[in-house]
């Protein structure tokens, strides 16, 4: 059988593609892509002529079976998303799981992800975080989620669309309190920026119309350095005892 490669592509700056990713994209028989027009531009930039087929969320189940068939016949296939790492708030997981369950070798070719890119530049001292992908679009469901997450003693990270970010920040403020946060915008691109401060300060400093791609990082409720237990089990216990939070 063939091999399935899960290939990360740039989230803005085309120079962030790895030389291994280029080699794999050049050598596989087929590239399964979220949006073939989008990926074609990247391949043209890299002078790669490998065939493309579409693989997007709405057809993920069906397309995964078609691609599995090709893998079983011996084709080597790479899966890419529009930007970043497939499977991280992007299609990919259905094919990866199907391939694994069928004994196909799955090889990750790591690279950019908005998640790790933002995290790497946030300067957090705690090592644990919760990644929530995109928060629910419905206000009531979103607020409920924030309420559930309020007792987690770790950093919270979300992707959010520019037209929903203000509502999201306001709900986070209401349910989590005025925590410290960072809002990364247009990472690796020309207009990259990071707003830093309390949720309220960030909300107040946003322009009328927000544009671009965003990653929101919300710090845990303040724990002073001398209070912070060393290991996770002690930390959870400490949090329950001092905050009365149900975990």
Restricting to residues 122-151, name those near ligand SAM by CB under 6 A.
none
User: CA-to-CA distance for 215 and 133, rounded, in angstroms?
Assistant: 9
Q: Which of 12, 135, 153, 220 binds ligand SAM (CB under 6 A)?
A: 12
One DSSP character per residue, 213-243 reads -EEEEEPPSP--GGG--SSHHHHHHHHHHHH
Angle (CA) 49 108 38, round 5°: 40
Binding mask 165-194 for ligand SAM (x = CB under 6 A): -------------------x-xxxx-----
Torsions phi, psi for 216 (to 5 deg): -105, 125
User: CA-to-CA distance for 68 and 59, rounded, in angstroms?
Assistant: 14
If one asks whether residue 114 binds ligand SAM (CB under 6 A), the answer comes out as yes
Is 101 exposed, middle or buried, given 0-12, 13-18 or 19+ CB atoms closer than 10 A? exposed
Pick the piece of the chain touching ligand SAM (CB under 6 A) from 37-45, 70-78, 135-143, 154-162. Answer: 154-162
CB of 47 to ligand SAM, least distance (A): 24
If one asks whether residue 80 binds ligand SAM (CB under 6 A), the answer comes out as no
CB of 15 to ligand SAM, least distance (A): 13
Q: Which of 22, 46, 72, 88 binds ligand SAM (CB under 6 A)?
A: 88
Residue closer to ligand SAM by CB (options 60, 186) is 186
Pairing of strands 51-54, 30-33: parallel
Using CB atoms, what's the residue nearest to ligand SAM?
Answer: 84
Restricting to residues 214-243, name those near ligand SAM by CB under 6 A.
214-215
Residue closer to ligand SAM by CB (options 11, 217) is 11
CB of 61 to ligand SAM, least distance (A): 19
Residue closer to ligand SAM by CB (options 21, 235) is 21
Q: Which of 85, 154, 165, 171 binds ligand SAM (CB under 6 A)?
A: 85
Cβ-proximal residues to 48 (8 Å cutoff; 6+ apart), any chain:
22, 25, 26
One DSSP character per residue, 16-56 reads GS-HHHHHHHHHSSEEEES-HHHHHHHHHHTT---EEEE--
Site of interaction with ligand SAM (CB under 6 A): 11-12, 81, 83-85, 88-90, 113-115, 159-161, 184, 186-189, 213-215
């Amino acid at each position: 059988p063939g091999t399935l490669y899960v290939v990360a592509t740039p989230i803005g700056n085309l120079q962030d593609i790895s030389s291994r990713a280029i080699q794999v994209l050049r050598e596989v028989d087929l590239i399964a892509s979220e949006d073939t027009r989008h990926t074609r531009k990247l391949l043209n930039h890299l002078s790669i002529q490998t065939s493309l087929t579409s693989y997007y969320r709405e057809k993920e189940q069906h397309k995964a079976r078609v691609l599995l068939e090709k893998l079983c016949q011996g084709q080597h296939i790479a899966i890419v998303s529009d930007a970043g790492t497939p499977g991280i708030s992007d299609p990919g997981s259905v094919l990866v799981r199907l391939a694994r369950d069928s004994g196909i070798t799955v090889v990750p070719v790591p690279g950019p992800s908005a998640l790790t890119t933002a995290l790497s530049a946030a300067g957090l001292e705690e090592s644990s975080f919760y990644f929530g992908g995109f928060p629910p679009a419905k206000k009531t469901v979103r607020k409920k989620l924030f309420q559930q997450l309020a007792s987690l003693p770790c950093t919270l990270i979300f992707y959010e669309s520019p037209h929903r970010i203000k509502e999201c920040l306001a709900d986070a403020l209401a349910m989590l309190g005025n925590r410290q946060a960072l809002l990364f915008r247009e990472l690796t691109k020309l207009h990259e920026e990071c707003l830093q401060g309390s949720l309220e300060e960030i909300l107040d400093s946003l322009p009328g119309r927000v544009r671009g791609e965003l990653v929101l990082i919300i710090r845990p409720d303040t724990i002073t350095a001398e209070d912070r237990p060393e290991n996770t089990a002690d930390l959870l216990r400490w949090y329950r005892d001092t905050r009365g939070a149900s975990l």
